[in-house]
Amino acid sequence: MSSAKIETIERFILENQPQSAQGDFTHLLYDIALAAKLIAHKMKRAGLGEILGQAGNVNVQGEEQQKLDIYADELLFQLNDHTGRLCALASEEREEMMEIPRPYQKGTYVLVYDPLDGSSNIDVNVSIGTIFGIYRYVDWETRGSLKDVLQRPRDLVAAGYILYGSSTMFVYSTGDGVHGFTLEPDVGEFLLSHPHMRFPSPPVYYSTNESYYEEWTPEAQEFYHWLQGRDAARDREYRPRLSSRYIGSLVADFHRNLLRGGIFMYPAEKSKPDGKIRLLYEAGPLAYLAEQAGGYASDGAKPIMDIKPTDLHQRVPCYIGNRSLVEKAELFLRGE
């Protein structure tokens, strides 16, 4: 019989929550883990339960909503709107922030989330994910306001993602490293499988949608050439030996690079000078995780962790992964 310690996510959260956290914080993470189990269950039955395909709606981003998008969005709201732990929620799928309905008690935390990132991949059975971030309230005088939601990623008290793939993984941080849990489907528990995750060095992969190459700035194109090893004469001290891997599902691309080392990049484009990745729901929480794992996230000029959102659906260019690669990207984008 194995003597290895088996640790559930519930026990780990309880034993490792920040000293400043209250019981509400612990239970909030429990509720997100419960949502992950329920979404994972639906994912496994997607081809059988008539929940594949488009829902016939367009979200605030101008994208076709998938049926599972709507399910995941509603589930995360319904599990958290009445608990007394949150003062506001914001979802990538909704145009406005969500206040806590009366008569439910207002809480001290804010939840921002992308319910199903990469959901266009659902119908072709490719890994997708949920991304979330948790803030503390700013303005206690209201039942939740934009002040509470529009905070810098550096002010996050927790962030994480759930990856729905060959297995379901829950990866999160509360400021003391990044820890990964794998769902054991027979018992319905997330078990600690990847403690203290760090970007390994040397990195192995770069991830980008190179079909938009012609839309990038010359500086971004030069950095891309360098990643390919085509510009070795420019930097004789280090020539990256990286392979290209791109899934088109941000959580899956980030997760692979976290395990193997690498960089994900989605540069600004001529038609999208502000980039495509959502600051509040995607770039911010993943930047928090990257920093906790020894990595770095930048918009090409400054740390994403220090960008204060001015809009719920603000977008940013995104370079995220091993610090050495992201800092090299900044050098190229500055023309250095």
- pLDDT > 90? residue 258: yes
Looking at the fold, whether 30 and 162 belong to one and the same domain comes out as yes
Whether omega for the bond prior to residue 195 falls within 30 degrees of 0, making it cis, is no
Looking at the fold, whether 141 and 271 belong to one and the same domain comes out as no
Amino acid at 170: F
Looking at the fold, whether 278 and 158 belong to one and the same domain comes out as no
Looking at the fold, whether 177 and 249 belong to one and the same domain comes out as no
Q: What is the pLDDT of residues 62-109, one digit of tens each?
A: 555 568 888 999 999 999 999 999 999 999 999 999 989 888 899 999
What is the arithmetic mean of pLDDT over 254-264? 98
Whether 300 maps to a domain, the answer reads: yes
Whether 176 maps to a domain, the answer reads: yes
Looking at the fold, whether 39 and 148 belong to one and the same domain comes out as yes
What is the arithmetic mean of pLDDT over 221-247? 80
Q: Which of 149, 179, 196 is the last residue of a domain?
A: 196
Q: What is the pLDDT of residues 98-134, one digit of tens each?
A: 989 888 899 999 999 999 998 777 777 889 999 999 9
- Domain containing 67 equals 9-196
- pLDDT > 80? residue 319: yes
- pLDDT > 90? residue 257: yes
Looking at the fold, whether 220 and 183 belong to one and the same domain comes out as no
Of 77-91, 113-127, 179-193, 282-296, the one with minimum mean pLDDT is 113-127
Looking at the fold, whether 106 and 180 belong to one and the same domain comes out as yes
Q: Which of 196, 218, 250 is the last residue of a domain?
A: 196
Looking at the fold, whether 179 and 238 belong to one and the same domain comes out as no
Give percent of the chain above pLDDT 70: 88
The CATH number given to whatever domain includes residue 232 is 3.40.190.80
Q: Which of 167, 196, 225 is the last residue of a domain?
A: 196
The CATH number given to whatever domain includes residue 87 is 3.30.540.10
- As a whole number, the mean pLDDT across the chain is 89
Number of separate domains in the chain: 2
Of 9-13, 65-69, 88-92, 224-228, the one with minimum mean pLDDT is 65-69
Looking at the fold, whether 67 and 134 belong to one and the same domain comes out as yes
pLDDT of residue 313: 97
Structure confidence at residue 1 as a pLDDT band (50, 70, 90): very low
Structure confidence at residue 163 as a pLDDT band (50, 70, 90): very high
